[in-house]
Every structure is written in structure tokens, then in C-alpha cells.
């Protein structure tokens, strides 16, 4: 039995990520992305939910009363063959409980839909402890800039000629929490986030854009 290198402690921040087995795609269409986002919302609860029955009888998933959540989520991004999540641990073992529920539920959905069996993800989810303010600010930018890979796979090595174009692409990417930072209305998957437990680094969306541009200038090719 393998031992996780990073242990989780209450009130600490963690970058959680995983990818498909052999880098295979884990999202094949819009419904797959949508289901994973819905599961992020639903699995973040102490309640036991029969997901197979739940999705048959509930249309407005994000209006479900989850009660107390397992973790606080500050950011997310889903890419074709991997995902990123930013968590704050609320109680020991809650991250592990949440991720087990999420992975199991999504693999069951995916395997049934595509008539397949076996593992989907590349082993256990990966985690990094975020132990400084600087690192936490960096992770917000790192997660939200992931979609740039879809229009320029080598941008980290070669640089970006048009940062505004890259940022606008990320801002419009539908499977990331970046858009929710701009929109203060509680709409759909914005309910996934709980921003209060995370430092208010940015007073407005414009300041966040400046932060991302500064990070690009300083860290390009080093992440």
C-alpha cells in the first residue's frame, strides 16, 4: 500500500490534480465536463447521495442543499486529459474523502457512458502543499492559465506574443473558475467556489489580470 507523500492538515491550502491514464482524455464532450463540475459540487458534502438516481430526478443540480461542505474550493480548471483544484482542508481526511467520492463517481459515469472498464485516472490524485502567500497567489494564476495550452502548447517554453489574446481565451474558457472571479452573481457552477476562506489578494478583476500578466513576465518558462 503506497503512502501519500503530502499529508493534509486542517486550515492548510493544497493544489490537487490528476490526469488520465497514459495521458488519455478524461473529457470527451461537453456533457463530460458538465458532469464533472456537477460532481465537484455534489461530492463536497457530508451527505450520502445515490448519484445514479439523483441525476435522473434533479434538473437544477446546483440548487441542491448540500449542508456542510467537506472542503473549501478556491479555483478549478478542467482540461481534456487532466484537472486542477485548489482546496483548503477544513478537517483532517476531508480532502481524501472528497477526492475518493469524486473519482469513483466520475469513473462509474464515464465507464458506463463509453462502455469501458478499468481505471481512468493515472493512479492516486497528486497534491502539493501551499505553504506561503507567494505560492498561493501563483497557484491561482497557474490554474487559470492552463487553457492557454489549447491554443499554444509550447507557450511556457517559447513565450506568448499576445498576452491579451491568451488571457481573453482563458477568461472565456467555460471549464475554469476564472469567469466566476469576474461575475459576482451566483450562477451555475459558481456555487462550486467558496472564496471567503481564501485571502482577498485582488480587489477587482482588473487587479487579477495585472497579477497574471506580471506572473507571465516573471515566471515564463519556469513553471
pLDDT tens digits for range 104-119: 999 999 999 999 999 9
- 80-104 mean pLDDT: 96
Note down the domain range covering 32.
13-219
- Give the integer Cα–Cα distance in Å for 26 and 10: 30
Phi, psi of 6 (to 5 degrees): -105, 120
Domain CATH code at residue 89: 3.30.70.1290
Percent above pLDDT 70 for the chain = 87
**DSSP state at residue 121:** B
Q: Is residue 207 part of a domain?
A: yes
Report the pLDDT averaged over residues 182-188.
Answer: 48
Predicted confidence band of residue 207 (pLDDT cuts 50, 70, 90): confident
Number of domains in the chain: 1
Question: Is there a domain that residue 33 lies in?
Answer: yes
Q: How far is CA 154 from CA 22, 151, 162, in A?
A: 20, 9, 14
Q: How confident is the model at residue 185 (pLDDT cuts 50, 70, 90)?
A: very low
Amino acid at each position: 500500500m503506497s503512502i501519500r507523500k503530502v499529508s493534509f492538515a486542517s486550515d492548510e491550502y493544497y493544489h490537487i490534480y490528476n490526469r488520465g491514464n497514459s495521458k488519455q482524455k478524461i473529457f470527451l464532450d461537453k456533457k463530460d465536463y458538465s458532469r464533472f463540475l456537477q460532481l465537484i459540487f455534489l461530492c463536497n458534502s457530508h451527505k450520502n447521495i445515490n448519484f445514479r438516481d439523483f441525476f435522473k430526478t434533479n434538473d437544477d443540480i446546483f440548487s441542491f442543499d448540500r449542508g456542510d461542505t467537506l472542503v473549501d474550493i478556491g479555483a478549478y480548471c478542467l482540461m481534456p486529459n487532466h484537472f486542477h483544484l485548489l482546496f483548503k482542508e477544513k478537517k483532517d481526511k476531508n480532502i481524501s474523502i472528497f477526492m475518493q467520492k469524486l473519482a469513483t463517481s466520475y469513473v462509474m459515469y464515464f465507464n458506463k457512458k463509453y462502455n469501458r472498464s478499468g481505471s481512468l485516472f493515472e493512479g492516486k490524485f497528486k497534491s502539493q502543499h501551499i505553504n506561503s502567500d507567494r505560492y498561493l497567489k501563483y497557484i491561482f494564476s497557474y490554474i487559470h492559465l492552463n487553457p492557454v495550452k489549447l491554443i499554444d502548447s509550447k507557450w511556457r517554453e517559447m513565450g506568448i506574443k499576445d498576452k491579451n489574446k491568451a488571457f481573453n481565451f482563458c477568461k472565456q474558457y467555460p471549464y475554469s473558475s476564472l469567469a466566476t472571479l469576474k461575475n459576482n452573481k451566483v450562477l451555475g457552477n459558481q456555487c462550486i467556489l467558496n472564496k471567503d476562506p481564501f485571502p482577498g489578494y485582488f480587489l477587482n478583476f482588473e487587479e487579477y489580470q495585472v497579477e497574471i500578466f506580471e506572473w507571465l513576465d516573471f515566471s515564463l518558462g519556469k513553471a
